[in-house]
Structure 1
Amino acid sequence: MTKQLSHYVNRDLSWIEFNRRVLEEAQEPANPLLERAKFLAIVSSNLDEFMSVRVAGIQDQIRAGYTKTDFTGYTPAGLWKRLLKRTNQMVAEQYRSYRDIVRALAKEGIVFRSMDELTAQQLRAVSDYFHEIVFPVLTPMAVDQSRPFPLVHTKELYLAVLLQQEDGGEEEEPLFAIVQVPSILPRFFQVPYRTGSKKTEFVLLESIIEQFIHTLFNGYKPFAVHPFRLTRNADLSINEDGAEDLLEEIEKELRKRRWGIPVRLEVARGMHPYALAMLQEELEIEDNLFQIDGPLDLSFLMKFAGSLPGYDNLRFDRMEPVYPKEFDDNEDMFSVVKERDVLVYHPYESFEAVNDFVTEAAYDPDVLAIKMTLYRVSGQSALVQALSKAAEAGKQVTVVVELKARFDEERNIAWARQLEKAGCHVVYGLVGLKTHAKILLVVRREHGTLRRYVHVGTGNYNDSTATLYTDIGLFTSHPVIGADASALFNEITGYSSPYEWKAFGVAPTGLKEKLFRLIDREIEHAKAGRKSHIVAKMNSLSNQEMIDKLYEASQAGVTIELIVRGVCCLRPGVPGRSDNIRVISIVDRFLEHARMVYFANGGEEEVYLSSADWMTRNLTRRIELMCPVFDRELGRMLINMLQLNLNDNVKARQLLPTGAYAPVVNEGEPLRSQYEARDIRKWKGYA
């Protein structure tokens, strides 16, 4: 008898399917080789975060004795068993792909060597590098009665070393030590070219250290050296209510992250049983053990593929973002936005337009105030420099810095301090809520009145990720949007009674309810025989109430098309429940990051941009924003963008009722949406 499927796909199992789609890009022969290596690095980085946050949380529940099932039908223990099997399968497949890529790179003249494959000249160069650069940085850490097991840092690479005294017998119990592979040094070292060869050859840093490990232990003989890597629980537990200073509280929690409970242990396959037993006992890890057939932590391939000079034939064609033509012909950006709304589509259009807008506001004597949210900022942020200049010039500058942006906490603390030093008012948001909305407000004096200029985006104000992620930004001076923007900042920075939003949908107080009203309106249109259609694009869909509302709309006859890049807990195509719902995911060169939603509304079409995914955390525990696009022409442009994604038959994968994904059936000419979107000037009608 076949077990009936749950109405929902489990969130964590859905995430595994997403990372498998990333892995497919590493396996895709049509992708350039070095780009395939980058995708392999992304698979590793994704899995690191999944383990340190999601899996860590499941293990916490198991330790606490939590046995209730979630809304997808899994207990923590049952889910953990399934995840362990799936992740082991994925890692095995990942390393098969790594070996395929390494073999293919070798044919192109890029070769990873083992130490015993080097020539005498190459060995001398490696020896010089070790003794001059590497050796001074290394610290051997012995483990014995007087020296307890040292702190093993999360996601750092180590060597486990077994030793014997040079004059001792083999029957003696081995001595144990660990050596950290210094992350401050490159993971790969290029050796000199062989005589008469044009091949570019590399050895890995851990292989170099292993070769000369005896230099760290005078009087002892290393007889087994194996890499290992530990992943710890990285989720912060912050008592915001009891924190006198949120910044200091987060800094304290970041220090605690070093001692997070071990979650996963990765070791080289064939590790000596004594060393493995020692690690498992000291780190208290039994079942989440990955024995790796290859180099640990393939995330180094991202830097390797990006820094290797030449070999452009093994990379994607370079794509230069174009500067938005609406601003290109006019040095005064305010005069442009005063006349009409402007839509900017990253990475096809340059993020410099946002930087220039803030910089112009900083130096404009008629600008009185600048307010914006910062969630993740790049290392050399022009925005932070411009905001600092504006504050130093006497303007009212308010910046909402989200200190709890996971894994960017330290960087954001540094930016917060720099902005405060320059005279900006820095706010850390509301207690218990992350500020994830992406909004910028400029208040300008014009002819005796004040005008508000607003930028609303789907992505972070980060010029680095704006070259890698697809996102939408809207510049507008629409008075209704401006009034809502002022009210939003007042709620975040001060005390404000509930505001009746004229245009925005804002979480956690009303975004979900607004979406429900809009979906209910489509249901009414469908029942009345009018045009009813919903198209929504997002990163993840996992909120049960939202899924149930979409099921209800499907049952009422509303056509629903969802473009969900990552986690999707909704099961499409189930007779009687979700027959009218189609779900696709696109994983390609750029990370699909824009959040948009379209409602047919009986023919009176509406389009919204949003910062929010349809996840419980976004709808209930974050300050999120959904903004309408009032300009009909721009709305039509966004609808065309959504349709382009829906027509993708090269990189799109369709979610099946089983929870698995399959390539979209290729009907007609191949259409790869990201390649079509590159011709942005034609898209926007000014080619």
Structure 2
Amino acid sequence: MTRTERGEVSRYLNRDLSWVEFNKRVLEEAQDPATPLLERAKFLAIVSTNLDEFMSVRVAGLQDQQKAGYTRKDFTGYTPSGLLKRIMKRTSRMVNDQYKAYREAVRFLGREGIYISRYDDLTASQKKAMDQYYTDNVFPVLTPMGVDQSRPFPLVNSLSLYLAVVLLKEGDDPEEEPYFAIVRVPSNLSRLVRVPARGNSKKQEFVLLDDLIKQHIRSLFAGYVPLAVDPFRLTRNADLTLNEEGAEDLLEEIEKELRRRRWGVPVRLEVHKGIHAYALEMLKEEFEIEDNVFVIDGPIDLSFLMKLPSLVEGFPQLRYPELIPVYPEELEESESLFEVLGQRDVLLYHPYESFDAVNDFLMEAAEDPYVLAVKITLYRVSGHSVLIQALSKAAESGKQVTVVVELKARFDEERNIAWARQLEKAGCHVVYGLVGLKTHAKITLVVRQEQDTLRRYVHVGTGNYNENSARLYTDLGLFTSDPLIGEDASSLFNEITGFSAPSDLHTFAVAPTDLLPVLQQLIRREAEHAAAGRPARIIAKMNSLSNQEMVDALYEASQAGVPIDLIVRGVCCLRPGVEGLSETITVRSIVDRFLEHSRVVYFENGGEPDVRISSADWMTRNLTRRIELMCPVRDEGLKQDLIRILHMSLEDNVKARHLQQNGLYSRPEGEDKPFRSQFEAAKIRSWKKRPPGSGESVPTPS
């Protein structure tokens, strides 16, 4: 078992060290020879972007605690300084492995005819073409920024790529102190620049924009001789510090904080291997950073690889097979979604089923003359969103449209501000949520006049209302006209937008008021069933499990004999399989083509299964500092669908990794027939079709 910094064994795994293990599982996909080559490039990019956010938020927070002299241990037994040492050691090792995988991937891509070349390796005609591209497209947007007594060190933006340039004035003594300048690599130009083919060759070739600028650096410094040109990148603390209580206008306050983020405290410095000693000294002195310097043996910031597959033409054998989301058959039964949903509930499973159904629901609501009101929560929205168009259209046609826009969605603040303003112009009533809480619940309410009554139609989801992520993430969405769920939806929106006190809800459990106690009560109920000899079991699927109270509740249920299977993609602080503590608990993580994002929990409940979907992970922030929602699935047939989805995850023996007591993950052993849950889920037409409301039995997950 893993020991803390003082050597004692903890009941819990550390959240941040668990996250490092998760990112290593992402890296495994880039290292796996079975992963198509262009997809391996994407996973390398994801490792980088994941690590960027981890450094700018989690590591930045630990550094703040360390600087403040905070020495108290967290519940897993670590002080900030002790944890930082372990994080830096493990992330350094991870980055080294990442760049080994990068060099291997580039080598294999070259064998296929796809090259990321150095400028020096191009032919004369190719160099001429690249020189022209630089002159026409790159040089005009570059700004060399010198550093001397009259020109202080310029602002270096977080996570932007720069070149550190060490110069000698023509005719000066080489022994004199050199000059220093920086050049920002334009982020609005593609980092991968396509090179004309060599003669009649079908090979596709690219050079990096920073390499191209480096080769032409003399064009920016006439009269100087470049001694060295080295890429570097700075990561700053990206956490926003908001005074919501004192903010007269939350939107303006967040805009101010976004500007302040540019000046966040430096957290990490990445430099190219072999960087000139003078350049490194200048950077470390300016950023006041000594320990957290990563020396990179390759291109700094591999996130550019995310765009490589879209730039490469052809090569289907180097990609995953195309998945075309199907339109839910249940909703094809009628021209009107309201007609279908008035008769039955419908469950959507993205990305296998199309997000178009959600867009159509909103668009029909906008156009339907009998719809009186539309209410929705937005956390992250895609660009050119059909959903935004539908909401705007609904408001312009005179409907009452209320949109709860979460301005504090990290790294999407600017985009959400833009959406908020656009919706307000269209006549929507835009609300920014409750003070001190992020609104993370995913819910839409449509109120429709039908004969002599009003009817509520509700969509509850586990993921954001985002067409792009719905093609890349596995998520669940429930359409229902259940009157009790509709009443709860109205109560929830009244609480968010007005002064309504939390009311007694029929079906929902809502954070931060009652989601945590409801989950604890449901877990205790399973323990009571087990103690009485009745059927008991818990299967829970989520992104992260780090709340101590939830971990303790699961430990208690395990000690009562409840079999518990957890499917946790990322962070998990629970230590499974410990005798007398958690020996009935298994934990597995699935990292595959799509990001596992759905949150669903199953309770055997003495033989009367209770299945619920949720927007919330079992993390302290979700359960105590956010508005989150858990909703039961009441239709018996849809319950079976969800149990089947859980069953597929538990049966996965290709991409699943099992968490061990020591916090490390291992591949399943002794399996015969390969079973890959995401590939099986793509056969959705074959396992989902059945009469509405049927209680077709599904094998209990084993």
User: TM-score interval w.r.t. the shorter chain?
Assistant: over 0.9
Residue type of the partner of 2:281?
A
Alpha-carbon offset, residue 394 of structure 1: 0.6
Q: Which residue of 2 aligns with 1:390?
A: 394
Corresponding residue for residue 427 of structure 2: 423
**Structure 2 counterpart of 1:61, from 62, 65, 84:** 65
**If the length of structure 1 is used for normalisation, what is the TM-score?**
0.99
Quote the residue 2:380 is aligned against: 376
Q: Deviations over 1:489-537 (max 9, x none)?
A: 0000001123011100000000000011111110100000110100000
**Which residue does the alignment assign to 1:544?**
548
Separation in 2, partners of 1:473, 1:193: 47
Equivalent in the alignment of 2:309: 305
User: 2:513 pairs with 503, 509, 516, which one?
Assistant: 509
Please list, as runs of the form range in 1=range in 2, the aligned pairs for 1:642-657 lying within 5 A after superposition.
642-657=646-661
Shift of 1:470: 0.3
Structure 1 stretch 582-591 or stretch 666-675: which is displaced more? 666-675
Contact 2:345 2:479 (8 Å CA) reproduced: yes
Q: After superposition, where does 1:576-595 map in structure 2 within 5 Å? A: 576-595=580-599
Q: How does 1:61-460 map to 2 (within 5 A)?
A: 61-460=65-464
Which residue does the alignment assign to 1:464? Answer: 468
Partner letter of residue 605 of structure 1?
P
Unpaired segments ≥5 residues, structure 1: none
Deviation, 1:668, is: 2.6
Q: CA deviation at 1:686?
A: 5.6
Structure 2 counterpart of 1:668: 672
* In 1, Cα distance between equivalents of 2:75 and 2:244: 29
Shift of 1:306: 2.4
**Aligned counterpart in structure 2 of residue 622 of structure 1, from 609, 626, 629:** 626
Aligned letter for 2:411? Answer: F
Superposed CA offset, 1:448-507 (max 9, x none): 100000000000000000000000000000000000000000000001123011100000
2:562 is aligned with what amino acid?
V
Given that 1:375 and 1:402 are in contact with CA atoms closer than 8 Å, whether structure 2 keeps it comes out as yes
- Give the superposition deviation at 1:664: 1.5
SS in 2 for 1:159: strand
Indicate the residue corresponding to 1:658 in structure 2.
662
Structure 1 residue corresponding to 2:29, chosen from 25, 28, 51: 25
For residue 89 of structure 1, what is the amino acid of its counterpart?
A: R
How many positions carry a matched residue from both structures? 687
| Secondary structure of 1:34 counterpart | helix
Taking the aligned partners of 1:251 and 1:277, their CA distance within structure 2 comes to 34
2:50 is matched with: 46
CA distance in 2, matches of 1:683, 1:398: 37
Partner of 1:680: 684
Contact 2:543 2:597 in 1 (8 A): yes
Letter in 1 for 2:556: E
Q: Structure 2 regions of 5+ residues with no counterpart? A: 692-702
Residues 505, 511 of structure 1: 8 Å contact kept: yes
Aligned to 2:567: 563
The one-letter amino acid of 1:436's match is H
Aligned-residue CA RMSD (Å): 1.0
Q: What amino acid is aligned across from residue 402 of structure 1 in structure 2?
A: E
Give the whole-Å Cα distance in 2 for the aligned partners of 1:686 and 1:560.
29
What is the identity, as a one-letter code, of the residue corresponding to 1:224?
A
**Deviation per CA, 1:358-385, whole angstroms, max 9, x where unpaired?**
0000010000000000000000111110
Q: Is the 8 A contact 1:368 1:443 kept in 2?
A: yes
- AA at the equivalent of 1:676: E
SS at match of 2:376: strand
The CA deviation at 1:329 is: 2.4
Deviation at 1:666, TM superposition (A): 4.3
The alpha-carbon deviation at position 196 of structure 1 amounts to 4.4
Distance 2:473 2:583 in 1: 32
Q: Deviations over 1:551-578 (max 9, x none)?
A: 0000000000000000000000000000
Give CA deviations for 1:16-46 in whole Å, capped at 9, x if unaligned: 0000000000011111100000000000000
Find the aligned partners of 2:596 and 2:234 in 1 and give their Cα distance: 30
Contact 1:649 1:666 in 2 (8 A): no
Over residues 595-636 of structure 1, what are the superposed CA-to-partner deviations in whole Å (9 max), with x where a residue is unaligned?
A: 000000000111000000000000000000000000011001
- Corresponding letter in the other structure for 2:141: V
Q: Residue type matched to 2:523 in 1?
A: I
CA contact (8 A) 2:545 2:573 kept: yes
Structure-2 separation of matches of 1:345 and 1:143:
55
Match of 1:611 in 2: 615
TM-aligned CA deviation for residue 132 of structure 1:
1.0
Return 325-334 or 41-50, whichever deviates more: 325-334
Q: Take 2:517 and 2:269, find their aligned partners in 1: how far apart are those partners?
A: 43
Distance 1:284 1:592 in 2: 39
- Which string of whole-angstrom CA distances, capped at 9 and with x for unpartnered residues, describes residues 214-243 of structure 1? 111111101111000000000000000000
Secondary structure of the structure 1 residue equivalent to 2:76: coil
Hey, what's the Cα distance between the residues in 1 that align with 2:219 and 2:358? Answer: 54
Counterpart CA distance in 2 for 1:322 and 1:360 is 19
Greater mean deviation of Cα atoms: 491-500 or 556-565: 491-500
One-letter identity of the residue aligned with 2:372: L
> Secondary structure of 2:210's match?
helix
How much does 1:142 deviate?
Answer: 0.3
Please list the CA deviations of residues 176-217 of structure 1 after superposition, one character each: whole Å capped at 9, or x if unmatched: 000001111110112121124332111111111111101111
- Map Cα deviations across residues 640-675 of structure 1 (whole Å, 9 max, x no partner): 110110010000000000000001124231100000
Tell me if structure 2 keeps the 8 A contact 1:650–1:666.
Answer: no
% identical aligned pairs: 69
**Deviations 1:86-131, CA, capped at 9 Å, x for gaps:** 0100000000000000000000001121122111101110110111
Equivalent-residue separation in structure 1 for 2:318 and 2:484 (angstroms) = 49
In 1, distance between residues paired with 2:380 and 2:180? Answer: 42
Kindly indicate whether the alpha-carbon contact (under 8 Å) linking 2:333 and 2:340 is maintained by their aligned counterparts in 1.
no
Partners of 1:71 and 1:307 in 2: how far apart? 47
Q: Is the 8 A contact 1:366 1:446 kept in 2?
A: yes
| Aligned-residue offset at 1:4 | 4.2
In structure 1, how many angstroms separate the alpha carbons of the residues matched to 2:129 and 2:250? 50
Letter in 1 for 2:135: H
Code of the residue aligned with 2:105 in structure 1: it is I
Matched position secondary structure for 1:38: helix
SS of match in other structure, 1:231: strand
Q: 1:185 to 1:465 in 2, by over 3 A?
A: same
